[in-house]
Structure 1
Amino acid sequence: MRSISLFSGCGGLDLGLHDAGFKTVLASDFEGLCAKTWRQNMPATPFVVGRIGDLTRSDLTSQLGGKIGEIDLIAGGPPCPPFSKSRFYLKDKPRALDDPNGWETINGYLNMLDWVRPRGFILENVKGLAYKVHADALATIIERAEKLGYKVSTAVLNAANYGVPQIRERCFVVGSLDACIELPKPTHSNDPTSSLLPWVTAGDVLADLDTEENASDEGHFAGGQHNGLLQQVPPGDNYLYFTEKRGHPEPTFKWRGRYWSFLLKLSPDMPSWTIQARRSNNMGPFHWRSRILRISEIKRLQTFPDAFALAGTVEQQWRQIGNAVPPLLAAAVGRSVAEAIGAPLRDAA
């Protein structure tokens, strides 16, 4: 099955879709660094660098050898800041489709649907897209897709419920020209049953990476001036440990006086919290050994292959992984789409 990737980033969504039986025939992103990452991992895929608002149907045609042909899927996650939780605190910036970038990316995605008319589509974004305050934006996406003949489904999926060792909630909007897509049912749970496996934990996937041989790696100092406090935070806790409300004998912070990820530390017995796009020395999640996570570790928490190569500095590599869809979650969604469009399914194993 042939797919076109938009807002491709480093390719997390596409890696999962490949496991579900799709082949990316064209990828695109505004950031040239992502093209370098693709060339290291998927060199046969044509990659267009540019804003989606500048791409035309003729650009697609020329990149695909003069003919678009039948496309089974368009998939992509438009940049999330206009719909993110952090935008609620930035009162001077517009939200959702009132943000020019938000409008350009969503409108550009919908224009691609109109030009290409794939059998199905996947649009992924932060959970905030499903918030009531963004109802107009979500309605615009659904209505325009339905006018093009797509049967549309939406849901917020937690990556941890699909075997990803990370609590990461994302909104998926999917559509098919053939049959209504039933988004995948959870395979894992924090309350496992006979039919649901337990959540995969950070300890499950990171333990073998934290050896004595690499324990003294430089460049992973965390906490800044608060490093001493971070050392005292119990695994699975954050700065709230040092508040009067939590009963600390010498409170340092006010209750909810900082952002929730301040001095946030992983527990080896739980999935990670959401890996952010920015590497920080005071905003976690941090390793339970009170240090910044390594690139090899956030790849594990995002279910990227260990051998996956990333272009750029450590901070640039982190941003690419942090912005990505976990491939394991993408594969689950991809199999649901493949089933709805009547394509033969590959073995999920």
Structure 2
Amino acid sequence: MNERLPVISLFSGAGGLDLAVEACGRTDDAAGILRVAVATDYEPQALRTLAMNFPETPTLCKDIRQTSADELLDLAGLSAGEPTLVIGGPPCTPFSKSGFWLEEKRGSLDPNASLLDEYVRVVRDTRPEAFILENVQGLTYSTHRAQFTRLLQQLEDLGYNPRAKVLLAAEYGVPQLRRRVFVVGRRDGKAFHFPPITHSGVSERDRKIDATKLPFVTAHDAIGDLLPGTPESREVVDGEYGELASEVPPGQNYLWHTDRYGGRDVFKWRSRYWTFLLRLDPDRPASTLQAQPGPWVGPFHWENVVSASGEKRARRLRVPELLRLMTFPDDFKLDGNRTDIQRQLGNAVPVQLGKVVVEALMEQLGHLDRSRRSHHQQLELGA
């Protein structure tokens, strides 16, 4: 294989899409076909995480609004038209459901929404062969229709014929019911075709199972072998609702403690967010891992632990478990404390989901042959 094809990574964060790019086409006996030629983010911590895992990749810690395309191209050693891909997910805070309680979020008035325009600008000025943009599903909601429509129109005006679709991570082998919107476009104007679904199971919206697909990867499939594991600081769910959390069965949440279920009659029906006191169901994929959960926001592990006072308590997921549920490598390193790590991973793209999209694009561009896929991947795609 000749020199790997160059990629410009924007809003890189913890590097979920960067890992997907580097893994594209990698097999047991061959390296991947892509390399991240430059990665950028405005958070120093994100760049420290990237440096620990991508030591050969040039990085730039700078606000994208003050970053020219020429600066990115120079760091990557490229000229306009030479990047194979531009990838990235502009910060999703303006479009996340968790921000809807803020009026400026509901009305799409958050100034960070303009970062979508910055992404378009970099695509315009670097002229990659293709691009991949990802974001939270909330970007597609009616409250953000103006921003989303403008994004697609701007990319259309550049000739990239953008295609957008909300993907459920569990339907592509990720042990998590996380939905992300992907927008993909090609410089030659040909339409991108999203990869076929490979897995099926019960989700929060679908009770039908397609027997022709592989079953969802469950939480137990992903992290069961990590038990009993090594306890982490502040993992015990204690305090005001600690005892109630420990009594919630696997797969249930605070609704267990309403007058309609078998727990204590403490809460009113549907008076809290779904994730309040939520416990993992080992036989299903995890719910979405949140970047900044409150003290009572799950998913918590399905098994209890014994607290310092000798009482049974629920526990928070540990870092190795978070990595597995996000399909990051076990040896991936993250800078910062436990809260920092949760935020970085909660904002990231599951690596397996990104990889499926990247490989589909590389195949359609003619850069990747299915023979470069692993045997397991070929089975998943019915090759």
Please state which band the TM-score falls in when normalised by the shorter chain. Answer: over 0.9
User: Are the counterparts in 2 of residues 201 and 271 from structure 1 also a CA contact under 8 Å?
Assistant: yes
Which residues in structure 2 correspond to 1:1-349 (within 5 Å)? 1-20=5-24, 21-65=33-77, 67-68=79-80, 70-91=82-103, 93=105, 95-96=107-108, 98-103=109-114, 105-178=115-188, 179-190=190-201, 191-211=208-228, 214=230, 216-244=231-259, 246-248=260-262, 250-289=264-303, 290-345=314-369, 347-349=372-374
Structure 2: segments with no counterpart, 5+ residues: 25-32, 202-207, 304-313, 375-383
Decide whether aligned partners of structure 1 residues 223 and 171 sit closer, same or farther in structure 2, where only a CA change above 3 A counts. Answer: farther
How far did residue 218 of structure 1 move? 4.0
Distance 2:221 2:106 in 1: 41
Greater displacement, 223-232 / 105-114: 223-232
Counterpart CA distance in 2 for 1:296 and 1:93 is: 33
Deviations 1:162-195 (A, max 9, x none): 0000000011111112321111111101055453
CA RMSD of aligned residues (A): 1.7
The 1:227/1:7 distance shift into structure 2, 3 A limit, reads: same
The CA distance in 2 between the partners of 1:200 and 1:181, in whole Å, is 27
What count of residue pairs does the alignment treat as equivalent? 344
With the length of structure 2 as denominator, give the TM-score of the two structures: 0.86
- What amino acid sits opposite 2:149 in the alignment? A
Consecutive unaligned residues in structure 1, runs of 5 or more: none
User: In the TM superposition, what is the alpha-carbon distance from 1:299 to its structure 2 partner?
Assistant: 0.3
Deviations 1:6-30 (A, max 9, x none): 0000111111122223211010011
Q: Secondary structure at the match of 2:36?
A: strand
Amino acid at match of 2:7: S
Please report how far the alpha carbon of residue 69 of structure 1 lies from its aligned counterpart in structure 2 after TM superposition.
Answer: 5.8
Answer whether contact 2:47 2:61 (CA < 8 A) is retained: yes
CA distance in 2, matches of 1:332, 1:87: 29
**1: distance between equivalents of 2:181 and 2:98?**
16
Distance in 2 between the 1:328 and 1:147 partners? 31
CA gap 1:223/1:13 in 2 versus in 1, 3 angstroms: farther
Identity %: 42
Q: 1:226 to 1:340 in 2, by over 3 A?
A: same
Seen in structure 2, the aligned counterparts of structure 1 residues 345 and 320 have a Cα distance that, compared at 3 Å, is farther
1:33 deviates by 0.7
Contact between 1:224 and 1:281, CA under 8 Å: does it hold in 2? no
Change beyond 3 A, Cα 1:194–1:279 = closer
TM-score normalised per structure 1: 0.94
Distance 1:33 1:152, change over 3 A: same
Task: State the SS of the aligned residue for 1:272.
Answer: coil
Larger CA deviation: 277-286 vs 191-200: 191-200
SS at match of 1:166: coil
